[in-house]
Structure 1
Amino acid sequence: MTVVTDSPKSTTLSFPVLATTSTANQTETYSLVQKSQALYEAGQLMEAVQLLKKAANEFKANNDVLNEAITLSNLSLVYQQLGQWQEAIEAIAQSIKLLQTLKNSDSSQQQSQIFAQALDVKGGLELAQGQTEAALSTWQEAAKIYQQLNDTLALIRNRINQAQAMQALGNYLQAHKTLISVQRILQKQPDSSLKATGLHSLGNVLRSLGYLNDSHKILEESSSVAKRVGDAIAQSNALLSLGNTARAQTYAQVSLGNSNSADNYTKTAIQYYQQAVQIASATPTVRLQAQLNLLRLLVEQKEFSTAKALLSQIQSQINNLPPSRTAVNYRINFAQSLSKIIQNEVQPKDVAKMLAQAVEVAKNLKDERSESYALGTLGQLYEQSGQLSDAKGLTQQALVKAESINAQDIAYQWHWQMGRILQKQSHIPAATAAYNRAYNALKSLRNDLVAINPDVQFSFRESIEPVYRQYVDLLLQLEENTNQKSDNLLQARQVIESLQLAELDNFFRSPCLLPRVDLDKLVEKEKSTVVIYPIILDKRLEIITRLPGQDTIYRNTTKISKNILENTVEQLQKDLPVASREPDVKQYSQQLYDWLIKPIEANLANKNINTLVFVLDGALRNIPMAILYDKQQQKYLIEKYAISLAPGLQLIDPKPLQNIRLNVLVAGIEQERFIEGQSFSELSNVTQELKQVQSEVKTSKKLLNQDLTEINLEKQIQSTPFSVVHLATHGQFSSDVEQTYILTWDNLLKVRELDNLLRTRGESRPETIELLVLSACKTATGDKRAALGLAGVAVRAGARSTLATLWTIDDESTSEFMGELYRQLDAGVTKAQALQRAQLAILAKENRPYFWAPYVLVGNWL
């Protein structure tokens, strides 16, 4: 996994300041600590450790408890940078114990501040080890002290740390609010280097949370403040981070399919990196990091001629670096870029030599994490050049090192690498076992993968997703040649489920916790339901089917390349929102029927099946399964079955809608709006739609136009036990969390805020929202993974089911559809059957799928 980093030591922690004392013979000991700080900032961490240990012993010998505690706190911080966790834990525990002894006897203002700084160091250690709740608690304890001392800048650093912990715990709205409050405080401060540094830290955390536009804005401000006060170091740091944010925006636009915007952001990132290089003459490490990030970006864009001009500059600087973890990481980063431009100018042996040097430096530093990374990257180089035996040996060494320090975030990469190597050697069972270990490592990291490495979110499709898909591919290959067919099929399903959860985690930058209810057991109970799992692989489409009343699950294979399948889906996705393209829609939907449904028709025949539940994969989530067309019977799939989608193999606790009173909150925006630079057209049928819904239910409350604000919506949801929330307003689903929203009267309610708003109901009212209806929404144009936003809403809304539209229809048919839907729900049929009957009612009058097909039900179909 390649990580684009900010300037070294971008952590918001800092060395505590030594206490002053009048003892003359202590001067030499203070000098040791000051020298250690200089070494720390220069990346010479092992040397810093030696000086700090010596200083701590001397302070202890002189009974200088306060300065001994400070020195131990510093020592813990350096151990953290080295990845020596046990030593870091012992040092900070000893420091805090000493400080608590002093606090109990005589607590001065200085001692309180030093104690708070020690707590900040401890919190950073806890977060790095995945103890997120403990980290947040520790930082909150420190914050109380800073508030009592009225230390604004320390409190700002502390709150930025807290926001990172909140984000890792899934409290991203709280994290964002905390950062906004930090921003307000910073903006009131006079220009200074500290203000520039605070804004820089804030901008970096906003990027890790996925607030890329906010990150850019804050980092621009940091750069401007630094320029005004003449702080070249702070300005170069800000420019480097601006380059990293622009690069993250490039990835976001690529995932949305916006190639022009992606190119623009790439150019912007290159400009920022170049500016950082020019200004960072006083800070060689920042200049080198900017050059390395620039080189990586140029290589990705295949701008090899421009990239080659950087090689000699970077090489000379790397050769002069003092031994440190930073030096090892720079060598690995450089080697990874070089390995992608191996031509006449760069020989494989030169790259291998650089990585071997990195291994040697890491070994001398006793830095097992860096040594593992260097060994594994060297193994990857040999894998690429076909030297599989050497690649296997190096990868095994890298694994031993990674697992000895429980570094699962890099161990999974070497298990994956080992799997690829073994597969190339045709050792399929062994390769599958290696992939299983990679998969299990990723599962163990699920709750803190983003926290450990915020940049993984921007390389998910390159560094995470392939592990799952390649593992499934191997499982299904094994299934053809073993007696454990059912076990392998069950495991393949489970892996795809884990991939979908990982995608949602990555979408939200936070773990998506799903209440787990076994879908298989539910199917056993619901005898008329079949669950279908299409799995998209490079050269084929696998379809796994789970029928009720049988232990066997079925596997069918359609030989179709991923590209052809995705192109067909993409074309259908473009044609569906255009009413006049019905012939094209029928052509593509027939093709998809032949690939998806025809192979399993025999399994469905004569089983009294009336409902199909799809656990969809990849691009298939962007189209409604209802439109798949059976040419032989001349029927759409919806004419044969009720249809629902499940975001995974487990659901929010399923419960039939029968015997639940339909108490509906109906809300909508009919008038044209202009919000956040976007124009939203009039929805002329919203009033009629809401009237239709209200006419079919006994109890309802309405919010229309200016009444539909975020505050009013939250107030209503918290105060009344609505079983259905019906929102008829513009909205968009996207693979970009910032572009997934619902329009209210005065703002765009982003998916994160919607999630928080709906789930706060659980704190005040225990009743679950049975159905969330999102009418007049659409998937983002050109976004190949747009339906990820819909899955995100469905999973995080706290509703048992979500009914949404994949494209906007402002037409009378929508009102008719909704009226029929609620009539059927009130009559006691399942949600999936109510959806089917409402769609068939429209289809009977208007055959074009544009009018009846945009509706999809996600979640509980009962």
Structure 2
Amino acid sequence: MSDRRFPSGPNRYLLLCSLALVLGVAIAPRASAALPGENPADRLLQTGLEPFDRGEFEAAPIAFRQVLEGDRLRGREIAPQIANLSNIDDVLNRLSPALNTYRRALEQARAIGDWAEVAQTLDRLGALYVEFKQYDRALESFQEALKLFERLGDLHTIARLQNQIGKLYFSAGDYLQSLDFLQQSLATFQRLDDLAGESVALGNIARVLDRQNKTELAIIFYKKAINLTEDLRQTFRETAEGFPPLPVELKEIYTGKVEDTYKQLSELLLQSDRVVEAQEVLDLLKIQEIDSYLRSVRGSDLDPRRLQLLPQEEQLVAEYTHLQTEAVELGKELSRLQAIPPEKRTAAQQERLDTLVQLQQQLGDKFQAFVNRPDVVDIERQLRRSSPEDSLKLASLQQLQGRLQGLDRPVAILYPLVLEDRLELVLVTPDGPPLHRTVAVSREELNGEIVEFRKLLTDPKRRRHREWVQESGYRLYQWLLAPIEAALARGGVETILYAPDGQLRYIPLGALYDGDRWAIERFEIDNITAIGLMQFEQGTTVEGRSPHRVLAGAFSEGTYRIWVGDREFIFSGLPFAGAEVDNVASAIPTTTTLFNDRFSPEATIARAEDYTILHLATHAAFVTGEPEESFILFGNGDRVTLRDVALWSLPNVELVVLSACQTGVGGVLGNGQEILGFGYQMQQTGAEATISSLWSVDDRGTQLLMDAFYERLQTPGVGKGQALRQAQLSLLADPQYSHPYHWASFILIGNGLD
């Protein structure tokens, strides 16, 4: 008997759905005995599935094999069961046995003339060959499957296979063949009015063009791909449905995550010194990362986001659209003729079909001829010769700088982009062109230093060595802030809106060290999700605001065990949380307090909209994985997941404070999407900003920082970000709490300017 535990929560659901699809059955109660006249193959399938219900994954294949080896089924009953057995091997990652059983299923399906089963098995077989890196065999399987699916008229599968074959040719360096199949895939998706699939195909074409050193054309195709994604997001925002996950067949044809397209375009634009456009793509990248994590981004109500095409790019798009329209019409006629059974086609129809097949196979040649046309090459030259100032006329930059100029102090926006072999920095200031700096540090070296720096900040033994913290902080400062500090000084910038990338989200920028001072001594640093998702214009002046009203809850007593998937968390009450909340009430008399059992989600959220500050002195864990795995623990033992936060309504709340958060739980760092997603979810509730910690700080240090924060927040003219910075500086000035472990953990996400 297997000792594997059946996954719980969403993972259990996903596995059940996968098994249902793989085995071709619905998740439904099954009878224990066959009904009269029931197909024995169906009864066998039921028998094989029963061990899965008990969590005994290894037993099901044995049940299938016993019957197959006993030769109890024949003819049409055998092939589906072999396919089921190979699918189980596939699910259990037994790839080699799966290949053998897929081949056997293929033989049986061909023997009985079940061409739909042959096509599907060839498709699965091709995917397994890819797993084994047997790309030539994968190509053969996919191409044979494609011919059969063309006869069957399954356009969605045809488009996916065309794309898959194009990717294989790309990997083999045969760019002409790759473009041929990718153009076919694009035309098929366009026939289906499948915008998501069209975006995938455009992005893959862009990758081929980039590899061919056709940078300007690659940029155009990347822009078209991203604009289709943004159009989809806007459509679902308008219908209030949220941005849905891609269908399974589209997930299979992505060369990587959706956000890879955004990163690759940003990289090309920066290489071409088109910094303004790169900044806009980087902002959209943050939105896409949130969407990949939460699947609920509806875009900004301020403006629909589309990348602007330069005039020369518009001209090339118009030329290409004409070429692609011909390909779509060719595909339509071809499908009509392929739908006619071969024995019923006239000689003229067969001759026309043969001609159309040849024309379709020449799409790659036509596209290559297009990109090499003298007029197209001339437009590419014009784009290469365009000065960076040409892009300063883009409306997106003018709008962004107008917003920065409307603030009461110089504020800059910093976007780092972590690439495999380097770090790119983009800085936007109220005046002048955006600044671009390239830093020669690889992703591996940068991430290694991030892990080291975080350990030095948090590990009780290692953080004793302050000089080690400073040395690591200095290295990170040289990569992240030193390249732009002259520009910050010229602009008199003391406030940075910071949009960290990847694992940079796990460390505070304020804890970086310039060799003399910590960054927090020089700058106010407000983390942001994306400029396109926030309003950072100052509304009511700080001096003109009405007094704060605080709803504060504390978990100070008791112990709770929390299971998230297969991970157990044990949380005990925070001894100083009660004193922390009492001190908030002393500083702000209009505070309402909730303790322990009275501090429940229902009691808290139901009344939160009557307050301007929601203070939660309790545990919260933001862990890598799914949004359902990150949570806030309330005093009565209930937990609210990151997904649940989307249901909160906090229209009058200016600030949410979580004073005992943990990230990177268990020392596992992902790409920080859970931190990004948390900031976004809070923004969506209506809250202007959130203060949370990146690691747990001792209770006394947290209490002192919060006392100082609320004291500063009451000072006329001091905004949320300034109050947090001043509170951190107050701990820094105290020898007992001057180590960044105590003060650097707390970051503000959102609008801290007022």
Q: With the length of structure 1 as denominator, give the TM-score of the two structures.
A: 0.64
Query: 503-512 or 280-289: which moved more?
Result: 280-289
- Identify the residue that residue 124 of structure 2 maps to in structure 1: 333
Letter in 2 for 1:363: E
Q: Deviation at 1:275?
A: 6.7
CA–CA distance in structure 1, aligned partners of residues 560 and 290 of structure 2: 30
Task: Give deviations 1:762-796, integer Å, cap 9, x for gaps.
Answer: xxxxx421000011111123332374223222222
Aligned length: 606
The residue matched to 1:674 in structure 2 has which SS?
strand
Matched with 1:312 is 103
1:675 paired residue among 528, 538, 561:
561
Residues 236 and 533 (structure 1), Cα distance of their counterparts in 2 relative to 1, 3 Å cut? farther
Q: Distance in 2 between matches of 1:792 and 1:747?
A: 21
Distance across 2 between alignment mates of 1:411 and 1:403: 6
Q: 1:211 to 1:514 in 2, by over 3 A?
A: farther
CA change 1:457–1:428 in 2 (3 A) is closer
Separation in structure 2 between the aligned mates of residue 269 and residue 470 of structure 1, nearest angstrom: 44
Q: Which amino acid in structure 2 is aligned with residue 557 of structure 1?
A: T
Q: How does 1:330-729 map to 2 (within 5 A)?
A: 330-342=121-133, 348=136, 350-446=137-233, 447=236, 450-453=244-247, 462-479=256-273, 488-516=274-302, 520-526=401-407, 527-548=409-430, 550-582=431-463, 583=466, 584-631=468-515, 634-654=516-536, 655=539, 657-658=542-543, 659-677=545-563, 678-718=569-609, 721-729=610-618
- Please say if 1:753 is aligned against 2:644: yes
Whole-Å Cα distance in 1 between the matches of residues 215 and 518 of structure 2? 41
One-letter amino acid of the counterpart of residue 539, structure 1: D
Unaligned runs of 5+ in 1: 1-205, 247-267, 480-487, 762-766
Cα root mean square deviation, aligned = 3.6
- 1:152-171 equivalences under 5 Å are none
Equivalent AA in structure 2 for residue 420 of structure 1:
R
Between stretches 213-222 and 461-470, larger displacement belongs to 213-222
Instruction: Tell me what 2:693 maps to.
Output: 805
* Distance in 2, Cα, partners of 1:859 & 1:328: 51
Alignment identity in percent? Answer: 23
Residue in structure 2 matching 1:288, options 63, 68, 83:
83
Q: In structure 2, do the counterparts of structure 1 residues 457 and 598 end up closer, same or farther at CA, with 3 Å as the change threshold?
A: farther
Q: Distance in 1 between matches of 2:595 and 2:744?
A: 26
C-alpha separation in 2, matches of 1:353 and 1:513 = 42
TM-score normalised by L of structure 2: 0.73
**1:785 pairs with 670, 683, 688, which one?**
670
Kindly indicate whether the alpha-carbon contact (under 8 Å) linking 2:164 and 2:253 is maintained by their aligned counterparts in 1. Answer: no
Cα distance, 1:851 vs structure 2: 0.6
Q: 1: distance between equivalents of 2:254 and 2:51?
A: 21
Gap change, CA 1:774 and 1:286, over 3 Å in 2: farther
Deviations 1:577-615 (A, max 9, x none): 224433433222211100000000110114322211101
Going from structure 1 to structure 2, the CA distance change for 1:341 and 1:275 (only over 3 Å counts) comes to same
Distance 2:252 2:62 in 1: 23
Compared CA separation, residues 269 and 683, structure 1 to 2 (3 A)? same
8 A contact 1:224–1:235 mirrored in 2: no
Between 423-432 and 451-460, report the one with greater CA deviation.
Answer: 451-460
Contact 1:692 1:816 (C-alpha < 8 Å) held by counterparts: no
- Residue 507 (structure 1) shift: 1.9
8 Å contact from structure 1 (residues 733, 740) kept in 2: yes
Q: 1:710 to 1:235 in 2, by over 3 A?
A: farther
| Superposition deviation, residue 857 in structure 1 | 0.2
Give the direction of change, closer, same or farther, for the CA distance of 1:391–1:806 in structure 2 (3 Å limit). Answer: same
Could you say what secondary structure the match of 2:491 adopts? coil
Question: 1:838 is aligned with what amino acid?
Answer: A
Query: 1:529 and 1:242 mapped to 2: Cα distance?
Result: 62
Q: Which residue identity does 1:524 align to in structure 2?
A: Q
Q: 1:500 to 1:229 in 2, by over 3 A?
A: farther
State the secondary structure of the residue aligned to 1:662: coil
Partner in structure 1 of residue 705 of structure 2: 817
Name 1:796's counterpart in structure 2. 681
Displacement, 1:450?
A: 3.6
Q: Deviations over 1:296-339 (max 9, x none)?
A: 773xxxx7655554453354356468677776454333212213
Tell me, yes or no, if the aligned pair for 1:216 and 1:242 is still in contact at 8 Å: no
Report SS of the residue matched to 1:533: strand
SS at match of 2:556: coil
Q: Distance in 1 between matches of 2:419 and 2:47?
A: 42
Q: Which amino acid aligns with 1:556?
A: R
Determine whether 1:226 maps to 2:30: yes
Contact 1:501 1:512 in 2 (8 A): no
Matched position secondary structure for 2:628? helix
Name the CA distance, whole Å, in 2 between partners of 1:554 and 1:727.
39
Q: Which residue of structure 2 lines up, in the alignment, with residue 251 of structure 1?
A: none
* CA-CA distance at 1:274 after TM superposition: 4.0
Instruction: Answer yes or no: is the 8 Å Cα contact 1:332–1:377 preserved in 2.
Output: no
Report the Cα distance in structure 2 between the residues aligned to 1:519 and 1:269, rounded to whole angstroms. 58
Give the SS at the match of 1:605.
helix
User: One-letter code of the match for 1:843?
Assistant: L
Q: Which residue type is aligned with residue 740 of structure 1?
A: S
Once the two structures are superposed, residues 183-205 of structure 1 have per-residue CA deviations (whole angstroms, 9 ceiling, x without a partner) of xxxxxxxxxxxxxxxxxxxxxxx
